[in-house]
């Protein structure tokens, strides 16, 4: 049984990627002949030294690709792999402890198609700047802590969508989880992956990141719905359209979306949602009321916890602004 760890590299130099490679090299109770790392450079001039890569006790394959974005780079890693299982890692992350791979090999021997585990997010104390660690128990947003049987991915043509450069992780993760048979999808509540802190990380340091990229989330969901349709999974398409409609509706009731300085982001997001709703409003109309109620309650409760204020417009009135008109 063999696992390949697939790593896209953009401008991460040796000092950035070293903690990941070191955390693999210190794994215990495993045979490194059964571990491989495939790193794909996304067309940048920040190249890793061959001697540096050869210094590790496991095989590292280094691909030099044209610059086509993170989705294409991850697909290149997947295409180069011949292992039984694959795990996508970011170049600036690392394994949490030195028996992570031993644990994964045990699970691989039992067998699964896709595995989602809890993972740590590293942060900083706002005053002392000391490291803080938050546990994410279930999160489809990121590739962190996900392992897949390679043959399952190949047989089902499960790949990253090259048109997506933001929220591409959630597209891929959700597709894998929805296509896998429930008996072949596993969850592990023991974290073995650390999403490391980096001062250069835009998504964690820009307070307006969600405001700026929610349109990309709609792009990701749009691509996901289209893929469900192609695969004959119309019930899933309806479910995820309904989730997106409620998520966007409640999102606009959060204080930051009402602030004057953020109205440009709101306008651009509403225009993207207008196109999204034009494409998929028939699926929304077909969704049974009881299904809508369950989805609405869950998303509303989460949104309130995230600071949502009371709705100032009903959902029907809000949607009427985006409903296509004849003539």
Average pLDDT of the chain to the nearest whole number: 93
Same-domain status, 196 and 280: no
Do residue 124 and residue 217 come from a single domain? no
Residue 263 resides in a domain: yes
Write down the pLDDT at residue 205.
65
- Asked if the structure places residue 261 within a domain, the reply is yes
Of 201, 229, 262, which marks where a domain is finished? Answer: 201
Domains identified in the chain, total number: 2
Task: Identify whether the C-beta of residue 153 lies closer than 8 Å to the C-beta of residue 140.
Answer: no
Closest to 216 (Cα-Cα) out of 256, 144, 268, 254? 268
195 in a structural domain: yes
Dihedrals φ, ψ of 132, to 5°? Answer: -125, 150
Query: 105 and 214 share a domain?
Result: no
307 pLDDT higher than 90? no
- The confidence score (pLDDT) of residue 201 equals 67
Mean local confidence (pLDDT), 173-194: 93
Q: Of the residues 201, 235, 262, which one is the last residue of a structural domain?
A: 201
In a domain, 327, yes or no: no
Q: Would the pLDDT of 11 be above 50?
A: yes
Last residue of a domain, one of 173, 201, 229: 201
Q: What's the pLDDT score for residue 327?
A: 46
Given a cut of 90, whether residue 238 has pLDDT beyond it is yes
Cα 28–chain centre separation: 28
Residues 312 and 187 in one domain: no
Output the domain CATH number for residue 179.
Answer: 3.90.550.10
Sign of the C-alpha dihedral, residues 184, 235, 175, 208?
A: negative
Whether residue 42 is found in the same domain as residue 191 = yes
Indicate the pLDDT class of residue 138, thresholds 50, 70 and 90. Answer: confident
Q: Does one domain contain both 14 and 160?
A: yes
Q: Cα angle vertex 195, ends 192, 201, to 5°?
A: 175
Confidence at residue 300, expressed as pLDDT on a 0 to 100 scale: 93
In a domain, residue 325? The reply is no
Residues 91 and 177 in one domain: yes
Q: Which pLDDT value is given to residue 131?
A: 86
For the stretch 95-133, pLDDT in tens is: 999 999 999 999 999 999 999 999 998 888 888 888 888
Residue 326, domain member (yes or no): no
Q: Are residues 214 and 197 in the same domain?
A: no
Residue 87 included in any domain? yes
Tokens at residue 14, please?
A: 């040796």
Residue 34 to residue 88: CA distance in whole angstroms: 16
Residues 253 and 135 in one domain: no
Residue range 18-46, pLDDT digits in tens:
999 999 999 999 999 999 999 999 999 99
In this structure, is residue 151 part of a structural domain? Answer: yes
What is the Cα–Cα distance from 312 to 300, expressed in whole angstroms? 14
Identify the residue whose tokens are 């089902």.
156
- pLDDT computed for residue 117 by the predictor: 92
Residues 26 and 169 grouped into a single domain: yes
Domain membership of residue 223 as a residue range: 209-320
Note whether 174 and 239 are within 8 A (CB): no
pLDDT at 70: 94
Place 200 in a pLDDT band, splitting at 50, 70 and 90.
Answer: low
Convert the pLDDT of each residue in 239-272 to its tens digit: 999 999 999 999 999 999 989 999 999 999 999 9
Write down the pLDDT at residue 158.
98
* 214 and 118, same domain (yes or no): no
- Residue 187 and residue 57 share a domain: yes
């Amino acid at each position: 049984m063999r696992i390949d760890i697939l790593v896209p590299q953009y401008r991460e130099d040796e000092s950035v990627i070293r903690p990941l490679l070191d955390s693999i090299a210190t794994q215990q109770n495993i045979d490194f002949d059964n571990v491989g790392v495939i790193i794909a450079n996304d067309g940048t001039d920040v190249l890793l030294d061959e001697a540096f890569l050869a210094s590790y006790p496991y095989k590292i394959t280094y691909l030099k690709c044209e610059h086509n974005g993170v989705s294409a780079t991850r697909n290149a890693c997947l295409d180069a792999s011949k292992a039984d299982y694959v795990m996508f890692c970011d170049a600036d992350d690392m394994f949490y402890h030195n028996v992570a791979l031993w644990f994964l090999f045990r699970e691989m021997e039992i067998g699964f198609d896709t595995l989602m585990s809890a993972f740590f997010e590293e942060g900083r104390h706002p005053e002392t700047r000391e490291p803080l660690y938050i546990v994410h128990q279930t999160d489809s947003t990121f590739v962190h802590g996900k392992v897949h049987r390679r043959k399952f991915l190949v047989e089902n043509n499960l790949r990253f969508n090259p048109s997506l450069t933001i929220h591409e992780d959630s597209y891929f993760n959700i597709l894998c989880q929805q296509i896998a048979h429930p008996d072949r999808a596993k969850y592990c509540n023991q974290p073995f992956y650390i999403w490391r802190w980096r001062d250069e990380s835009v998504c964690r340091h820009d307070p307006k990141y969600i405001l700026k990229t929610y349109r990309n989330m709609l792009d990701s969901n749009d691509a996901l719905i289209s893929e469900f349709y192609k695969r004959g999974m119309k019930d899933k398409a309806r479910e995820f359209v309904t989730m997106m409609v409620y998520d966007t509706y409640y999102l606009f009731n959060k204080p930051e979306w009402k602030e004057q300085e953020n109205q440009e982001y709101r306008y651009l997001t509403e225009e993207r949602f207008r196109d999204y709703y034009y494409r998929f409003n028939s699926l929304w109309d077909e969704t049974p009321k009881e299904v809508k109620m369950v989805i609405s309650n869950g998303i509303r409760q989460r949104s309130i916890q995230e600071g949502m204020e009371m709705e100032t417009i009903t959902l029907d009135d809000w949607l009427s602004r985006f409903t296509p008109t004849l003539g």
